[in-house]
Amino acid sequence: MKSKEIKILLSAPRGFCAGVERAIEIVEKSIQKFGAPVYVRHEIVHNKFVVDSLKKKGAIFVEELEEIEDRSRPVIFSAHGVPKKIPTDAKNYNMTYVDATCPLVSKVHREAENLNKAGYHIILIGHKNHPEVIGTMGQLPKGSIDLIQNEDEAKNYDNTYKKKIAFVTQTTLSLDDTKNIIQILKNRFKDLREPLKEDICYATTNRQMAVKKIANKCDMFFVIGSRNSSNSVRLVEVAKKSGCINSMLIHSESNIPYHDIQNSDVIGISSGASAPEILVENFINKLKNRFTITIDEVEIIKENVVFKIPNKLN
């Protein structure tokens, strides 16, 4: 007899966003068009399952162009975006490249460039060493953009350049944390220029709002996603702040805490924007093997965003 009845509140929207779907499709279409192997600079999206399945199809993942042995093969730039120097290097190597940067990240790149041309010094709110941050900072000349990661850094930021300042943000941040950082900067710099439209992307926003809606009804909350996925890690933080202290990330090496689940009546589940739905299904199936499960999907908004793939792959 199955032991325990547990209700799952399944957060929606969850999982793949349009930028991730487009990036994966670009790799698959590139393999179809150019044959295998194709190279991908950095993980196309931050998910081991996705990366492993693309490796099986003929993608070879590298961190830098210099690692590519056969430069007659095409290279794809990941969804997180790359510094300006990378396409230039690829051209110098006479390499064919396909840019899978998410259009919403490209929007931030263009925004930063335009502000720089208009004479602003740029603040980027984001996480150090995240590939998206490296890519955005790499759009501009050295010294024209500074990174702020948290409220303390915002409080202590010194506008040494004495230029007018503007800010842009990484697309996968926590809405609430970012709001606080922006407020501190606005209080300190009265003429701070902000983006016309928020930089945090629709998918990050929707997934966080969906988690907020159900977290306080849950005894435990699970986010399916990779440890290096910024938006997945933020979802765990959002669940904790929204009333479910017992929230955790389930990644490829996680042990499922069945004992704690056994003591729960209601658990919440969501997944990061780079996590395929099959990982959510697999997790739920593991729970079904041990418990009697009922599932209530709580959807806050329908997503119908689709991004076109580059013409050269059509």
Q: What are phi and psi of 233, to 5 degrees?
A: -60, -40
| Cα 197 from Cα 273, distance rounded (Å) | 21
From 5, 111, 132, 153, the catalytic residue? 132
Cα 125 to its chain centre, rounded Å, is 15
Residue 67, SS3 per DSSP:
helix
Structure letter (DSSP) for residue 250: E
| Cα 130 from Cα 80, distance rounded (Å) | 9
Q: Which amino acid is at 220?
A: M
Residue in the block written with tokens 């992307």: 201
Query: Is 63 marked active-site?
Result: no
Counting every residue, how long is the chain?
314
Cα dist. 275→47, 50, 63, 215, 261 in Å? Answer: 6, 8, 21, 20, 22
Cα dist. 23→40, 81, 305 in Å? Answer: 11, 11, 14
| Cα 267 from Cα 223, distance rounded (Å) | 11
Sequence-distant (≥ 6) Cβ neighbours of residue 71 within 8 angstroms: 93, 94, 95
Among 103, 99, 40, smallest CA distance to 68 is for 40
Active site residues: 132
